[in-house]
Each structure stands twice: as structure tokens, then as C-alpha cells.
Amino acid sequence: MTKQFSRTNLLLLAVLVLQLAALVAGAAFILARIDGLDQARRSREDSLTEEIRSNAEMLEAVVRTLHLDNEQTNEMRELLGLPPVRPSALNDLMQRADSDSGSTHPLTEAVQRLIQHRNHEDAREFLAGFVSSPGFAEALSGLDLRYSERSVTEGELTRNGTRFFRLQASADEVSVLPMTGTSRTFATANTSFQSYLERSSAEIETHLQALSRRRQEFSELPQQPQVRTALQERRITAHLAQGEQRSELELRNNYGETLHTLRFSYAEGTVRGFGSGTIGVAELAQKLPQFIQELDNRPQVEREVSRQRDKLVELLSEPSLAEQLQESGVRIETTPRTSQRHYLFDVIDLSRNRSIGALGLHRDDATLRLFDSEDVPIGPLPELQNHVLSTNSRMSPVTDITVSEGSRTFLLIGVHERIADVVMIAHANPGKQSISILSIPRDLFYRGRRVNAVYQVFGVDRLMRELKEITGLHIDDYIMVDMYAFIDVVDVVGGVTIELEEPLRDPNFVVRDEGRWTTLAYDAGTQELSGIEALRVARSRGTSSDFERSHRQQQIVEAVLHALREMSPNQLQQAARSVFRHLDSSLSPIAAVNHLLRYRDYTVERREGLDTSNVLYHTYSNLYFQGKAPDAEVDEDFDRGAWILLPINDDWNEVRNYVQSIILGVRS
């Protein structure tokens, strides 16, 4: 029984051995077949390549023959007085080859593309086999590395989302490029590959830890005592922005203009933007306070005008120019005198030793003009401006928003004690037969001051210019009215009717009506207002925000426009003569009436305002100057400064884009 069982086991074992041998033989046959197919594929590709090259040579010979035949045919046709035959597509192809002996024939280019495609496929297959091999998986398992494909011939190894290695495949090897250290190439994912990954991963981890410390040190630079003191003394703010590849530290003046940018590279661990080359964070920390002290923190316009003035002085100081001018009997002073808006370089008549005029450099925009002896402008100097001063100019003028042909923009200013308490822009669009009204908040902070103070300090021309820079809108005319004239304007049109969406209660606004003192109180709904009542509604802000107040002011302006539309031309002229005695405007009464008649059928399509619900954020001036967030924790005795409004991300383009959306009805 035992012997029979043993024989049975031996038979089963023999059968298993035979089956295993058959499997091995089958696998070997399959592998040999695959290798044979691959060799056959390569052989066919080589044959096809050779065949294409041979055909290209034959085709080139045919083309040359046709080209010669075409020339002979045209010679015969010329003798017969017939026009030449237009070359065929083959002749054009041949002419291209003849005209550029250094160029590659189109068929050769096709062959090269085929070869590149084959190499690309080989690299794809090799990388796929490399990363699917057991050795590759084993090498990654203990290093917490993950593989992801970037393309069919490239991949990367990451740890916790950070790329440690980049893999690039060719037809027979893979190049491994580490974040830091020396790259290597491998034909297989063997033990050498695993050892390389282990060693390089440890080096990269150490490198990343050092980078993290340096990155933190870079971000803390503005808080270092000496740096913070220098920033405060120079009224410069530091703004940190952190991205995926680098951190940037922008140094800005109190006009929000970038003076200098320092860039910390995560890959290098060094800072660029401080002199030539790179600098370490520790060395930068020592040199940054002095660097800040030496920065020119003036507005960009002033810096550019100063540069242009120095350039003009340098030009006027050239001996050759002085000789030419002397031959003409004049000299130009190289030390300018200063007027309200210009630097004036006097032109002296040598025979009389007195000024006959001057070259004027505008102090706001660096434009050049010619002046007579009484400082009256004669005209611009475009040739001198373009060929001498404007070269390499760093000024960046604001681009006007493109508006419909025939459009007109008006600035409406409500003034109280020389301060622009109400600022609105009204834009008439003939294309849409509509009017858009945009309120500018008085606390908007631009070029170091709130816009409501610009009129008080510089006047209406400067206010119009700065509003153009802020909004991108060219302003054609302005109308300025003080609070008492406002009362007369509303009364002249017979009062206004507005709709209050909510009750208006202001216990701090004391009024006297019919001999009785009380506080401001209006119910929600329709309200018919006289001039004094309209002024109260327009000025109240005790229980409402400035933005809500702007909304009421827009309602009153729209109501005044509506009342004016209802008047006849004669009534409009009488009203204009009466009203214009109480206001200041770039328009004459007749011009104002003409505009009212032209726009009387227009509808007020949009009533909007710049505020914190769209493109602005609020902070305090001293917090802003020191680069602190609006909600930053500060000492109890710290003066936060004035409440101000700024564009989101301190980007004035956001404001201009929003204004464009109001005027054109689209958001850029």
C-alpha cells in the first residue's frame, strides 16, 4: 500500500514538473516572440526610413527634370511670342530647395519627424517599464516617495507634496534630477538606484529644513527693530507676498508705489534684487536698514521729473551746445528757477543781457514747453521731448478708458469749507442714451492723502487729474457747488422728490423748523424736499455710513436732473443764470443748458459707488504706513491714524476695471 502511494506521488510530481517545464517553455517562446516582433518592428521602421529617403532622392531627380523641361518649354514659347507657363507645385517645391541651399528638404524633415517619433515612443516604453519594475517600487517604499507622471517621458517623485526628484527618460536610460545635489542616470531600478534615492532624499530633507528657516527669516525682516525703525523714519511700507516658487518683499512709498522688490527663491535659498547676483538672508538683514534709508521715496512722478530735469541740465551744460548757442547770441541758464508748475531755464540774449523766454519742464508730467519773456506758454516742444528727454522714460501714464464716440464725463463736487465733501462722476453715453453716476468716497486714500483734501490743497485741476489717474476716465468738465448754493439749486428747480428705502433718523443732526428745535427724522417712502431739507438728507451720516449717504446724494442729483428735464428751454436758461451765480464750473450757462437739452431724454442707467462691497477695503493711515493689517494688535497708546479706503490688494487697476464695468457695462 505504501509503495503504491509513493508511486502515485512520484507520478503526480512528474506531471507537475512536466507542466512547469511546459509553462517555462511557453513563457520563453512568448518572450522570444515579443523580442522577434520588436526586432521586426525596428527592421520595418529602418526599411521604411530608407525607402522614404530613396523616394525623396528619386522625387528630387524628377522635380529637377520637370524644372529643366519647364525652362525649355518657356524658351520655346518666348520664341513663338507666347506667355510663359506658370510653374507647377513641383516647380515651386524645387525653387524653394534651390533658393535656400542651407534649408532642409521637406521630405527629409518628414523623415526626421518619424525618427523623433520613434525615439519618443522608445522613451515612453522604457519609462513605463522602469517605473513598473519591482525594484522601483521597492526603492520608493521605505522613503515615503510618490511617483506621478508629468508627461509620457517625464515623471517626478514627491514627498508630502514637495518635488524631490524629476525623472526624464530616453530610449535606454532614465535621468534622475534631484532638487539639490548631483543628477544620475540609470538603466534599471537596481540597488544602486535605491541607494542614490536614500542618500539624495536625506540631503534634500536637510536642504528643505534650512530653506524653511531662511524663508521664515526673510518674512520676518520687516519686524526686525532696525528695519522697522528705518521703514518708519522713511515712511516706507513693506508688503510680503508668498507664492509657490518664491516670496517677494515689496518696499512702497506712502503713495502705494513700489520702490523696490526683493525676491527670495525657495529653490536657491537666497535673495535677488539687492545689487547684482544673490545675497543671503543673514547678510541682507544687516544691510537692509541702510538700504531703506537711501531709497528715494518720492512719488514716481516727482522722481521722473527730477531725472528729466537732471538730464536737461546735463544737455544744456555740454560745451558744444554752449558754443552753438553763443554763435546765435544767446545762452541758456543751467540752474532753473521754479514757478508754480514748471522748472524754467531762462534763455538770455547776450547783447542785452536779459531773458527773451525760457524752456519749461512741467513739474507734474515732465512735459517740455516754450515760454515767452513773461512766462506765458508759447507751445510744446515735441522733438526735444521725444528725442532727448523721453528716451528710457520710466513714467507710466494712465490709459484712458475707451468710451463711446460723443460721450462726455462731468465731475460734480460738493464743497464745505474748501473741502470736497461730495465727489461724483456723471458719464453721458449717447450710444445707450443713458447716464451713469459714480460716487467717489471722500476717504479714498491716494498719493498720501484722502481725495476730499486734494481740492483744498491743490484746487480743482489737480483733483480732476488725480481722479483721472484713479478711474481711468477723462473728465471733460466740472461743476462745483458749496452747501449754501446747493440749497438754491434745489429751490430753483422747485424742490426734489426722492424715495427713502429706510427711515432716516439722526439724533446728532439738530435742525430748526418753524421756530422749533428738533433732530433729523424722515420716514421711509416718498419724500418731497426743499433745498434746506435736501441738504440735510445729503449730509446726515450720524446713523448711516458714508456709502449710504452717497446713495442718497445720488438720488438727489438724479431728482434735480429729472426736474431740469421737465423745464422748457426758456425756463432752463433762466434757471441756469440764477444757479450759476452760486457755483463754479468750467461750463458757461449756455453750454450747461445745451448739455441739459442734449441729454434730457437720457435715462439714469447706473447709480454706483466705490465702496467696501466691491473694490475697496478700509484701514487706518498709520497701520497702512507701517505695513500692518487693519485688525492688527497694537499697543494701547498706538495712534492708528485716520480712517482711509484703499483698493483691494492695493491694486488701482481693480478700481479702473470696476469703473469700466460701470461705464461700459462689462468687467474687463
pLDDT digits (tens, 9 = 90+) for 107-166: 666 667 777 888 888 988 999 999 999 999 988 988 889 999 888 889 999 988 888 999
- pLDDT for the residue 495: 82
Least confident of 129-143, 286-300, 473-487, 559-573: 559-573
- Is the pLDDT at 428 greater than 80? The verdict is yes
Q: Which residues contact 220 (CB under 8 A, 6 or more apart)?
A: none
- The CATH code of the domain that includes 542 is 3.40.630.190
More confident residue, 81 or 511: 511
Same domain, 571 and 475: yes
Distance separating alpha carbons of residues 236 and 258, to the nearest angstrom: 10
Does a structural domain hold residue 557? yes
Domain boundary (181, 196, 215) is at 215
The residue-averaged pLDDT of 81-96 equals 51
The residue-averaged pLDDT of 225-250 equals 85
Same domain, 574 and 646: yes
Does a structural domain hold residue 60? no
Same domain, 545 and 431: yes
Highest mean pLDDT among 58-72, 104-118, 518-532: 518-532
More confident residue, 386 or 211: 211
Same domain, 511 and 639: yes
Bridge partner residues of 522 (DSSP): 504
- pLDDT for the residue 611: 85
Distance separating alpha carbons of residues 364 and 346, to the nearest angstrom: 20
Same domain, 442 and 525: yes
- pLDDT for the residue 398: 44
Q: Which residues of 616-628 are buried (b: 16+ CB within 10 A; e: fewer)?
A: beebbbbbbbbbb
Does a structural domain hold residue 48? no
Does a structural domain hold residue 83? no
Distance separating alpha carbons of residues 203 and 198, to the nearest angstrom: 9
Q: What cell numbers appear for 75 in the block?
A: 524658351
Same domain, 584 and 643: yes
Same domain, 369 and 232: no
Does a structural domain hold residue 574? yes
Dihedrals phi, psi of 460, to nearest 5 degrees: -70, -35
- pLDDT for the residue 348: 92
* pLDDT over 90 percentage in the chain: 13
Q: 7: helix, coil or strand?
A: helix
- Is the pLDDT at 61 greater than 80? The verdict is no
Grid cell 545675497 in the structure block, residue: 279
Confidence of residue 535 (pLDDT cuts 50, 70, 90): confident
- pLDDT for the residue 246: 74
DSSP character at residue 444: B
- Is the pLDDT at 390 greater than 50? The verdict is no
CB 261 within 8 A of CB 251: yes
The CA-atom distances, in angstroms, between 76 and each of 80, 81, 84, 478, 640 are: 6, 9, 9, 81, 96
Domain boundary (234, 266, 294) is at 294
- Is the pLDDT at 457 greater than 80? The verdict is no
Confidence of residue 98 (pLDDT cuts 50, 70, 90): very low
Domain boundary (198, 215, 232) is at 215
Global pTM reads 0.41
Distance separating alpha carbons of residues 116 and 114, to the nearest angstrom: 5
The number of angstroms, rounded, from the C-alpha of 548 to the middle of its chain's C-alpha atoms is 31
- Is the pLDDT at 95 greater than 80? The verdict is no
Q: 471: helix, coil or strand?
A: helix
- pLDDT for the residue 668: 40
DSSP character at residue 182: -
The residue-averaged pLDDT of 234-256 equals 81
Distance separating alpha carbons of residues 21 and 55, to the nearest angstrom: 50
Same domain, 282 and 157: no
Does a structural domain hold residue 51? no
Same domain, 523 and 419: yes
Highest mean pLDDT among 83-97, 224-238, 298-312, 477-491: 224-238
Same domain, 431 and 383: no
- Is the pLDDT at 94 greater than 50? The verdict is no
Highest mean pLDDT among 108-122, 214-228, 643-657: 214-228
With vertex at residue 419, the alpha carbon angle to CA 413 and CA 425, rounded to the nearest 5 degrees, is: 20
Does a structural domain hold residue 98? no
Q: Which residues of 317-328 are buried (b: 16+ CB within 10 A; e: fewer)?
A: eeeeeeeebeee
Distance separating alpha carbons of residues 453 and 73, to the nearest angstrom: 87
Beta-carbon-side half-sphere exposure of residue 605 (alpha carbons within 13 Å): 18
- pLDDT for the residue 36: 61
Same domain, 239 and 190: no
Q: What cell numbers appear for 543 in the block?
A: 446713523
- Is the pLDDT at 25 greater than 60? The verdict is no
Confidence of residue 333 (pLDDT cuts 50, 70, 90): very high
- pLDDT for the residue 96: 47
Bridge partner residues of 279 (DSSP): 271
The residue-averaged pLDDT of 500-511 equals 76
Same domain, 590 and 499: yes
More confident residue, 511 or 188: 188
The CA-atom distances, in angstroms, between 107 and each of 25, 41, 64, 219 are: 46, 22, 15, 58
Q: State the helix-helix crossing angle for 483-492 and 569-579, rounded to 10 degrees.
A: 160
* Total Cβ atoms within 10 A of residue 341: 14
Q: 130: helix, coil or strand?
A: helix
Q: What cell numbers appear for 88 in the block?
A: 507647377
Task: State pLDDT tens for residues 340-371.
Answer: 778 899 999 999 899 999 988 887 667 788 88
Give the helix/strand (H/E) hosting 90. helix 89-99
* 368-371/377-380 β-pairing: antiparallel
Q: Which domain holds residue 600?
A: 408-664
The residue-averaged pLDDT of 629-643 equals 78
Bridge partner residues of 643 (DSSP): 620
Domain count, the chain: 4
In 373-461, beta strands by DSSP E: 377-380, 408-416, 419-429, 434-439, 445-446, 449-450
Does a structural domain hold residue 24? no
